[in-house]
């Protein structure tokens, strides 16, 4: 008989530890029983005793549910690293976030966090650039990177798209990116869009004397993503964007490997994440997913805004940013576990969704300057258009960094003044 609950067990440096929130089913006798079933199903066990279970397997590979908090409904399970194919994140998730979500002993289950042991961490490349590398590439040393997303999301042809990008760069923004559902459309083909937009980038760099970045969305089948990445590189692009959850974990690992010897930054859009993360009792937290994305090697990752139109409270966003930017994480008993990243570089957090220049004081206050701030409607929705909207964003950043209020800055900045008039409620 394998004993999956051992409250005296102390995890060692070779264990992969997972923290879950568990809401047991009404007819499940106890949280401890639910915990046992989760540990069993995610490792070596099944629903009945089996003759093929040897004493050796049980001793070497049984996990230990070593922490149960009935009040907060939180459990922690330590798994031997031998249970995992270390460099196969899909297999790891199939174990710790697989069948267990469908078990009858639970009403709800939420994977809160994962501690990856040093051996597994060593099998991953992590981000190629990291925050320092991105700052070196973009030549923006202290302030946040400022960007926009071309709007409307879809509908513009390649020339119209490039013109919107050029207007944003001319207004002072560093970055323009595709939206999550723009790939290669009948009205806007990927290759031509990349060619025209990077020509516009070149013109903007010459005109402004600043580095400008375009992030084309290469999301597709893996073979096509590789082709599209090559198209970007061949045209002088230095960034690609990918919808990380819709393309899948294994595709991301393969793409990261493919781009290892190519000088291109990976921008990770989290489209579909809320299907896993939004229900606070069920699914997987953005914190855990962000940790996985740092390990795989995403250079930039959407993590939330605190303000704006997208769901995500302050505590959640700040902790998520912490696990992808710091070299060593000290956890707690409720939302985070310890993590040492070794040589894995940091991932640059991205705030995007319903932002306008008026949000900038709060963005800087809560999230700081090691960020990408992206303004879609908050740029193109300016009363006088994209270029003026970009100027208003840059003016708002300047105001905050100078220690001035937006209203004071607006006295000498008509673009910001018009933005305040439109969006101040």
CA 31 to each of CA 122, 164, 175: distance values in angstroms, whole numbers, following the listed order: 35, 55, 49
Please indicate whether residue 189 is annotated as part of the active site: no
Decide if domain 15-121 falls under CATH 3.30.70.150.
yes
Cβ(65)–Cβ(57) under 8 Å? no
- Among the listed residues 330, 323, 328, the one whose alpha carbon sits nearest the alpha carbon of residue 349: 323
Q: CA 158 to CA 190: how far, in whole Å? A: 8
CATH annotation of 130-423: 3.20.20.110
Catalytic residue among 269, 359, 380, 382: 269
Q: Give the residue ranges of the chain where pLDDT is below 70.
A: 1-2, 43-61, 308-312
151 is catalytic: yes
pLDDT of residue 39: 87
Q: What is the pLDDT of residue 82?
A: 87
Task: Enter the tokens of residue 296.
Answer: 């795989």
Tokens read off for 333: 């008993």
Enumerate the domain spans of the chain. 15-121, 130-423
Dihedral of CA atoms 202, 206, 212, 217 in degrees, nearest 10, equals -10
Same fold, 15-121 and 130-423: no
Residue 395, classed as helix, strand or coil, is helix
List the catalytic residue out of 123, 151, 163, 226: 151
In tens, the pLDDT along 77-99 reads 999 998 899 999 999 999 999 99
């Amino acid at each position: 008989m394998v004993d999956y609950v051992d409250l005296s067990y102390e995890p060692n440096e070779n264990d992969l530890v997972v923290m879950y929130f568990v809401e047991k089913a009404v007819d499940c006798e106890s949280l401890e029983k639910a915990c046992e079933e989760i540990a069993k199903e995610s490792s070596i066990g099944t629903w009945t005793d089996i003759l093929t279970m040897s004493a050796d397997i049980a001793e070497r590979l049984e996990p230990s549910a070593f922490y149960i908090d009935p009040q907060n409904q939180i459990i922690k399970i330590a798994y031997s690293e031998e249970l995992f194919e270390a460099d196969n994140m899909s297999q790891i998730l199939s174990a710790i976030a697989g069948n267990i979500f469908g078990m009858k002993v639970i009403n709800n289950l939420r994977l809160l966090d994962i501690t990856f042991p040093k051996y597994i961490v060593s099998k991953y490349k992590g981000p190629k650039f990291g925050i320092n590398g991105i700052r070196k590439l973009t030549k923006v040393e202290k302030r946040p990177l400022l960007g926009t997303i071309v709007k409307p999301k879809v509908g513009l042809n390649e020339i119209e798209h490039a013109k919107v990008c050029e207007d944003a760069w001319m207004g002072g923004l560093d970055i323009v990116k595709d939206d999550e559902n723009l790939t290669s459309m009948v009205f806007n083909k990927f290759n031509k869009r990349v060619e025209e937009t990077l020509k516009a980038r070149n013109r903007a760099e010459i005109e402004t004397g600043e580095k400008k970045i375009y992030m084309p969305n290469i999301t597709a089948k893996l073979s096509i993503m590789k082709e599209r990445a090559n198209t970007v590189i061949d045209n002088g692009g230095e960034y690609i964007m990918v919808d990380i959850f819709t393309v899948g974990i294994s595709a991301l690992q393969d793409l990261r490997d493919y781009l290892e010897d190519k000088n291109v930054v990976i921008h990770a859009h989290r489209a579909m994440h809320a299907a896993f993360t939004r229900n606070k009792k069920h699914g997987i937290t953005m914190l855990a997913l962000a940790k996985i994305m740092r390990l795989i090697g995403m250079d930039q990752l959407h993590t939330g805004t605190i303000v704006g139109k997208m769901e995500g409270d302050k505590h959640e966003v700040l902790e998520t940013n912490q696990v992808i930017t710091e070299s060593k994480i000290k956890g707690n008993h409720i939302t985070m576990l310890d993590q040492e990243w070794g040589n894995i570089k940091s991932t640059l957090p991205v705030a995007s969704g319903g932002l306008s220049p008026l949000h900038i004081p709060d963005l800087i206050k809560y999230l700081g300057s090691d960020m990408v701030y992206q303004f879609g409607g908050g740029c193109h929705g300016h009363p006088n258009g994209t270029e003026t909207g970009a100027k208003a964003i840059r003016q708002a950043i300047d105001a905050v960094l100078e220690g001035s209020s937006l209203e004071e800055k607006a006295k000498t900045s008509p673009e910001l003044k018009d933005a305040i008039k439109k969006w101040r409620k």
